[in-house]
Amino acid sequence: MQTIKEYVQSHKERFLDELFALLRFPSISADPQYKDDVLKTANFVAEKLQEAGADNVEVCPTAGNPIVYGEKLINPSLPTVLIYGHYDVQPADPLELWDTPPFEPTVRDGKIYARGAADDKGQFYMHIKAFEYMMRNNALSCNVKFMIEGEEEVGSANLGTFVKENKVRLQNDVIVISDTSMISMEQPSLETGLRGLSYVEVEVTGPNRDLHSGVYGGAVANPATILSKLIASLHDENNHIAIPGFYDDVVELSPEERAALNQAPFDIETYKSDLGIEDVWGEKDYTTIERTGIRPTLEVNGIWGGYIGEGAKTVLPAKAFAKISMRLVPNQDSNRITELFKKHFENIAPHYVKVHVKPHHGGEPVVTPTDSIAYKAAEMALEEAFLKKPIPTRGGGSIPIVALFEKELGVKTVLLGFGLDSDNLHSPNEKYGIANYLKGIETIPSFFKYYAELSR
């Protein structure tokens, strides 16, 4: 029987080749034209689960993209771990900013460059390879279930129904998700909170047609100008979000909790130079770590209106649009926030334009426990692999499934992430370190071992 270290050493070439094959599928869930690639990706994942030794592998249809399920139930007396991940990815544009094609994985100084490398293909695939090791070396110490979905990047619209309809099949003692970041390879960490999300699209309509800006300009409200004024008003001079009631349910951390949070190693100068900015920006009286971890935010993800082509066109556009998302913290409720935004935006719109707010999707914020045996097992596994105790952090991202599972199955989650904030998630040149990938595969079996031990 090989140790996991030996197994990774002797199989790492294949582990990389398989991940590259997975990364070559442009499984973009936001854009309908990739529907076919999304299905191919699901089948590929199912096939690999089967090869690794899973039973009852199934590509489960949903109203949207299918969910891949597989399991290995060795003994009812042992605890059951459910691995969640997603095989869909963010759109790759702007394409021109990629140094190498987003769906042709390329290795540069030890990093795998490809859309989905870290979010989440590279991370969930670690679990399939760790599982393969445990199966072939008779080292599986827990029952395990895999649920890999294809709509995480568009709000997991159909996951809720699937979970409700499969409560028995999905029953488990802990959910493990590798879809987050750690501080660095020198300083492992475990995210203990995720922000919720409210994503809306706004449309401002002025005249019933595009107009000549010379003939009508100055006399008819310009939707692009009005939209700019509306967006500008959503943050006040202290960069607080100016939507009435927005902060009502926000849980304020105690001075001690904030102090603890700010213990995490963070160098503002490195942060700024990595991003190429002269200064950071954000809510008054909060640090950068707090702004991205424990505070809600409102960001314009896209804005467009009028003539955006080559050269100049003197038009007064009929419409202007924006995609706006808000990150939520405990105990904000995504539906309530969406409602508040809609009301407020319709409220502040002047009578000479019409506005329409279309909710896209949402997700609830969560805090994961640090006193559970699963968290303890994760700490031990990371310390064994990195020779350093991981520290708890608050993540800025959102994974709707976490709150959903807590609600539907009453199960807590461990966020065992091996990515880095600098991996360019959702950006051109997304990457994932080969070392992170292999280290993850190496860490997972110890988690299973410790979790089984502590569960006895």
Stretch that binds a copy of itself, among 17-25, 65-73, 141-149, 317-325 (CB under 8 A): 317-325
CA distance 131 to 164: 26
Least CB distance to a copy of itself at residue 242 (A): 12
**DSSP three-state, residue 393:** strand
Is 47:20 a contact under the CB 8 Å cutoff? Answer: no
Q: Which of 64, 70, 122, 155 binds a copy of itself (CB under 8 A)?
A: 155
Return the residues of window 321-380 that contact a copy of itself according to CB under 8 A: 321-323, 325, 327, 350-352, 360-361
With beta carbons less than 8 A apart as the criterion, state whether 231 and 254 touch.
Answer: no
What minimum distance in Å lies between the beta carbon of 213 and a copy of itself?
Answer: 4
Give the nearer residue to a copy of itself in terms of CB position, either 26 or 206: 206
Nearest residue (CB) to a copy of itself, 89 versus 380: 89
Contact 316, 210 (CB under 8 A): yes
**Residue selected from 1, 63, 168, 232 as contacting a copy of itself according to rule CB under 8 A:** 232
Report residue 125 as tokens.
């695939």
Binding mask 24-43 for a copy of itself (x = CB under 8 A): -----xxxx-----------
C-beta of 350 vs 389, nearer to a copy of itself: 350
Closest to a copy of itself by CB, 260 vs 277, is 277
**Binding mask 280-299 vs a copy of itself (x if CB under 8 A, - otherwise)?**
xxxx----x--xx--xxx-x
The yes or no reply on residue 222 touching a copy of itself (CB under 8 A) is: yes
99 neighbors 113 (Cβ within 8 angstroms): yes
Helices 4-23 + 434-455 axis angle, to 10: 120
Q: How far apart are CA 319 and CA 303, in angstroms?
A: 11
Pairing type for strands 211-212 and 315-316 reads antiparallel
> Which CB sits closer to a copy of itself, 321 or 375?
321
Q: Which of residues 426-455 bind a copy of itself (CB under 8 A)?
A: 426-429
CB of 348 to a copy of itself, least distance (A): 12
Q: What are phi and psi of 286, to 5 degrees?
A: -130, 145
The stretch near a copy of itself (CB under 8 A) out of 78-86, 126-134, 393-401, 405-413 is 393-401
Residue 396 interacting with a copy of itself (CB under 8 A):
yes
115 near a copy of itself, judged by CB under 8 A = no
Closest residue by Cα to residue 127 from 72, 171, 164:
72
Of residues 103 and 447, the one with the C-beta less far from a copy of itself? 103
Phi (first) and psi of residue 216, to 5 degrees:
-115, -15
Q: How far is the CB of 111 from a copy of itself (least distance, A)?
A: 15
Nearer to a copy of itself, 212 or 407 (CB): 212
Distance in angstroms (rounded) separating the CA atoms of residues 323 and 352: 22
Q: Which two tokens stand for residue 78?
A: 């042992």
Among 35, 306, 376, 391, binds a copy of itself (CB under 8 A): 306
Residues within window 179-208 making contact with a copy of itself, judged by CB under 8 A: 181, 195, 197, 199, 201, 206-208
18 torsion bin: left (phi>0), alpha (psi -120 to 50), beta (else): alpha
Q: Minimum distance between the CB of residue 55 and a copy of itself, rounded to whole angstroms?
A: 35
The CB-of-174 to a copy of itself minimum distance in angstroms stands at 24
Length of the chain: 456
* Strands of the 111-113 sheet, one edge to the other: 106-108, 111-113, 431-433
For position 95 contacting a copy of itself by CB under 8 A, the verdict is no
Instruction: Count residues binding a copy of itself (CB under 8 A).
Output: 100
- Beta strands 196-205 and 319-328 are antiparallel
User: Which residues, other chains included, contact 295 with Cβ-Cβ below 8 Å and sequence gap of 6+?
Assistant: 250, 283, 286, 329
Task: Show the site string, 43-82: x = touches a copy of itself by CB under 8 A, - = not.
Answer: ----------------------------------------
The C-alpha torsion from 239 through 243 and 245 to 247, rounded to 10°, is -30
- The residue type of 230 is L
